[in-house]
Amino acid sequence: MLMLDADEVARRLPWAALIEALAAMFRDGCSAPLRHRHAVGDTSLLLMPAWRAGDHTGVKIVHVAPGNAARGEPAVNAVYLLSDAATGAPRAMLDGGMLTDRRTAATSVLAARHLARPDATRLLLLGAGRVAHALAEAYRDQFPIADIAIWSRSPERAEALAQRLLRHGHPARAVESAAPAGADIIACATLATEPLVRGDDLAHGMHLDLVGAYRPDMREADGAALARARLVVDTRAGAFAEAGDLLQAMAEGAITQAHVVGELAEVCRGEVAGRKTPEQITAFKSVGWAGEDLAAAILACGG
């Protein structure tokens, strides 16, 4: 059985190839039930299976521990098992944290291909963890990003991420305010429970990428922000079950389910339009789909 650590997973998942693999998986589909969630004290245990008959099965085991950040440890730890669907024989064990970081960022950028302006040059990152780092790299790989502003509740973490990105040639800087004035793309990767982005903050032409807030009690944008945007989700089933941004906005009466114009799969298949005008405000809300992990794991193992 192949064993792939974090560095090897990253090496085997270059952004362009990963985005294309994800686009194909969203277009073609797979079996991927909603993730199983269990509370283990303050930690969340997530089980995410996916499969394609006659091809592969995969399952990711994830622990999300928000308190880890205060200890300087990753908030998310995970492993992924890829197996042969016909025989059940295990094919590979992959570092699930790196797999998650890269497939999450690549899915956001896949959505942004359809929703953001192609000439977007200014990226605002809200959050300074591993996913934020991956988002910076992925957006830089696919868009002409010339400025990456990073905000975090911990200014030290924002500065540390900016310095890491600078060492790798990315034009990054820490900022003191989460206000998105001047940004073309706002990417949120936090565990916030109160809105960081509000409707009044958004200007015409902006794209809002909501990656965090994977539980109903979390949110990164208020209802007014979602109401102003052309809104696409990774999957309706996941978003309407878990996405606090949507669930709280609907409970407040700011939007209804009908405000979601489509799923990313529908956009990738050309069944639903992405951005319609340069002035339009757009938003993508993801909570994570197990098919993304399966696509990334298959790519990492050579197809």
* Contact criterion met (CB below 8 Å) for 112 and 139: yes
Residue the block writes with tokens 């951005």: 275
For 31-71, write each residue's pLDDT tens digit.
999 989 899 998 989 999 999 998 999 999 999 888 887 88
- Residue-level pLDDT at 73: 85
Residue 85 has pLDDT above 80, yes or no: yes
Mean pLDDT of 182-195: 97
- Residue-level pLDDT at 206: 99
Question: How far apart are alpha carbons 288 and 273 in whole angstroms?
Answer: 21
- Residue-level pLDDT at 269: 98
Question: How far apart are alpha carbons 16 and 73 in whole angstroms?
Answer: 29
Mean pLDDT of 149-175: 98
Question: How far apart are alpha carbons 260 and 15 in whole angstroms?
Answer: 27
- pLDDT over 70 percentage in the chain: 100
Instruction: Show the CA angle centred on residue 223, arms to residues 140 and 146, nearest 5°.
Output: 15
What one-character-per-residue DSSP string does 184-206 give?
A: SEEEE----SS-SB-GGG--TT-
For 193-224, write each residue's pLDDT tens digit.
999 999 999 999 999 999 999 889 999 999 99
Burial status of residue 69 (CB atoms within 10 A of its CB: 0-12, 13-18, 19 or more): middle
Segments in 207-268 forming alpha helices (H): 223-228, 236-242, 244-251, 264-268
For 254-277, write each residue's pLDDT tens digit.
999 999 999 999 999 999 999 999
- pLDDT over 90 percentage in the chain: 91
Q: Give the pairing type, strands 90-95 and 76-84.
A: antiparallel
Confidence of residue 234 (pLDDT cuts 50, 70, 90): very high
